[in-house]
Amino acid sequence: MTDQTHASRYQVIVLNGGSSSGKSGIARCLQAVLPGAWLTCGVDSLDGAMPASLRGGGDGLGIGADGTVTVGPEYRRLSNAWACGVAAMVRAGARVVLDEVFLDGADAQKRWLHALDGLDVLWVGIRCDPDTAAGRETARGDRMPGMARGQAEAVHRGVRYDIEVDSAGAEAMACAQLITEHVLPCA
């Protein structure tokens, strides 16, 4: 590791935004512009690791025909364990860009605050107007229609950020550069 690797005091960068808001692209750009190695972890990785039995509602993750998402108790239990696992990686020396969707706004942030207690975290809101997010959702073709529009504002309710970026009005790299200015003291 070089001295530049530790130029940032932050160990975790949490990107919170709705579906199709551009978080994953921004996370990849952050990996490209930040010094040192940063891992990306995201809710999509967690969802992909869940057994099929927890992808149909009930105790797991449910996605309604209108794109609404519900979280059952077993999914929540495993999600909390996963958050503790991400925090353990950071405590072991990894730096992480976390790509998240706070489905229940401030309550989700509280769970992450608990898991990341004692770590230096930069909280980033990824804003994207509902029409732009819905257009991206349609272009992707892998999301239930309505999910992006429904989450565009809801995921931010009651959440406190260090910085917010507008991914509808800027490309992923431009958003990453704005975030980098807060991460690095002389960016």
List the domain boundaries for the chain: 3-49+78-183
Residue 143, token pair as written in the block: 């999301």
Residue 79, token pair as written in the block: 């999600």
- Among 10, 4, 6, smallest CA distance to 162 is for 10
pLDDT band with cut points at 50, 70 and 90 for residue 2: very low
Q: Is 44 considered catalytic here?
A: yes
Cα dist from 135 to 118, 141, 147, whole Å: 39, 10, 11
Which amino acid appears at position 65 of this protein? A
Residue 128, token pair as written in the block: 């994207």
Q: In this structure, which CATH number among 3.20.20.450, 3.40.50.300, 3.40.1590.10, 3.50.50.60 belongs to the domain 3-49+78-183?
A: 3.40.50.300
Residue 187, token pair as written in the block: 């960016």
Distance in angstroms (rounded) separating the CA atoms of residues 122 and 169: 22
Distance in angstroms (rounded) separating the CA atoms of residues 52 and 54: 5
The 3-state DSSP composition of the chain as helix, strand, coil percent (nearest 5) reads: 45, 20, 35
Select the more confidently predicted residue: 124 or 5: 124
How confident is the model over 104-157, as pLDDT tens digits? 999 999 999 999 999 999 999 999 999 898 888 778 766 777 788 888 999 999
Strand-by-strand arrangement of the 12-16 sheet: 38-42, 95-100, 12-16, 121-127, 163-166
Average pLDDT over residues 60-84: 91
Q: What is the pLDDT of residue 136?
A: 85
Q: What is the pLDDT of residue 142?
A: 67
pTM above 0.85, yes or no: yes
Active-site residue, selected from the candidate residues 44, 47, 104, 129: 44
In this prediction, what percent of the chain has a pLDDT beyond 90? 67
Q: Are 14 and 146 in contact (CB under 8 A)?
A: no
Q: What is the pLDDT of residue 97?
A: 98
